[in-house]
Amino acid sequence: MKKIIFALLFACTALMADVVQRDRTVLRTGPGAWYPALVELSKGANVKVINKGDRWIEVSSGKDRGFIAAKSLETKANSKNNDIFAQMGMQTTSVSVSQSAVSASIKGFAERFSKRLESDLNTIQHIEEMGFDNKTYALFKKNTIKNKELKKLRRVIHMPRAKKNHSFTFQEEGSGLAVAAKLGSMGLYRNAFLEEYVNLVGTFVAEQSQGYDINFRFLILDQDGVNGYACPGGIIFITRGALEMMRSEAELACFLGHEISHVVYRHGMKEMEERKEMIIADGAFEEMSRTVGESEKIAKVSEELDDIALASYETIFEGRLGDYEEEADEMGLLYAVRSGYDPHAMATLLNRMGTGHSMTNSEHYSPAQNKLRISRLNKYLKQKRWKSKHYRLHGERFSKMAKRL
């Protein structure tokens, strides 16, 4: 009898499903944000855990099987959520949405707003087509640092939890894509080899951050000045001038780590958080997937969403608060050092930039700001006392890339 009871309990436990705790949880084909997305799961969706890792969990949801971020199953205190997917989760309809429907909706909003800003819509298409082969990425990581060394760095260099652990809302990601289209209108540097290289470095650094589950994309702007821009949803720009100024891959890693931190910590998003309106999913998501603005209810808030996106663009293009920049500097170093890069490389880059006065039109990279940032970064590095034989510059690999500029 005991054996029967035990068997029944075991069977019941095996059949129990975990509950997704975050809206817009992406089910991917592999354990990484760079893998293709299958579907998006809303908060409340049931999934069956197959294999549990520290950051990625293999699960099945209905007929789909793939990987979700471990944080997606972490229970958090209830909070108000105005995202469309949160509204869908309250309904009796399906709690999974095809990735094609999600992409169509976000693209629809982004294209409509882009017309208002007279943006380059080709940038949106380019971003949608971006990606790299997983074998290429695996080889890049293997040549960057040994896996056992990377695991040791993750273990000994602790990372604070991000202030907010939820996914980007539909409004935020749509605004981010629209802003990226506007920034892209300044002119993209079309070089497939360089773009892939920057994406490999950026993705690797982002993988060591709290935003490891964000599908970051990195683009190069054909601009002489030194600058970087981070858009909601994980679209990041670096200028050609910034790449020309660098001398090592570690400098690039620290630079991109700074921009990655802006995305992870949602810097500049407070205005959007306070002003965003609720888009009600009235029975079916298909309304949204056709084009934003067709539904009468959606039309009522479209003007407000335009204002939100405009505010987001102005914040990204004109610069963020000093406190955000200081936090991004520190977290950028943390992400880079957890990836095995020399954290002193950022100060080296800023020192090099500080020798001129016309290398950038960005106040954040002006000689006066560089001097202040170098002082703060050196103080931060002294406090952390990061010393390891694992830290590398990868100057030779970067030099080979720089010859393509």
Measured between alpha carbons, how far is 15 from 60 in angstroms, rounded to an integer? Answer: 12
Q: Among the residues of 208-294, which ranges form H helices?
A: 240-245, 249-264, 270-275, 286-290
Tokens representing 313 are 């663009």
User: With DSSP H G I counted as helix, E B as strand and the rest as coil, what are the percentages for the chain, rounded to 5?
Assistant: 55, 10, 35
Q: State CA 323 to chain mean position distance.
A: 20
Judge whether 140 and 202 are in contact, CB under 8 Å: no
Measured between alpha carbons, how far is 346 from 216 in angstroms, rounded to an integer? Answer: 21
- Bridge partners of 315, per DSSP, are none
Q: What is the DSSP string of 63-115?
A: TEEEEEEGGGG----------HHHHHHTSSS-SEEEHHHHHHHHHHHHHHHHH
Query: According to the model, what pLDDT value does residue 108 have?
Result: 80
Strand 46-52 relative to strand 18-19: parallel, antiparallel, unpaired? antiparallel
CA–CA–CA angle 244, 390, 249 (5° rounding): 10
State the DSSP code for 35: S
Judge whether 39 and 61 are in contact, CB under 8 Å: yes
Domains and CATH numbers, the chain: 2-79 (2.30.30.40), 101-271+312-402 (no CATH)
User: What is the pLDDT tens value at each position of the chain, 405 positions in all?
Assistant: 555 554 444 444 444 579 999 888 999 999 999 999 999 998 899 999 999 998 999 999 999 999 999 999 987 654 444 444 344 333 333 467 888 878 887 888 788 777 777 788 899 999 999 999 999 999 999 999 999 999 999 999 998 876 665 678 777 788 788 889 988 989 999 999 999 999 999 999 999 999 999 999 999 999 999 999 998 899 999 999 999 999 999 999 999 999 999 999 887 565 455 444 333 233 323 333 333 334 444 444 445 555 555 555 555 555 545 678 889 999 999 999 999 999 999 999 999 988 554 455 566 778 888 899 999 999 999 999 887 777 999 999 999 999 988
pTM score: 0.83
Q: Which of 268, 271, 116 is nearest to 178 (CA)?
A: 116
Q: Using alpha carbons, list the distances in angstroms from residue 233 to 8, 281, 296, 316, 395.
A: 45, 21, 27, 13, 30
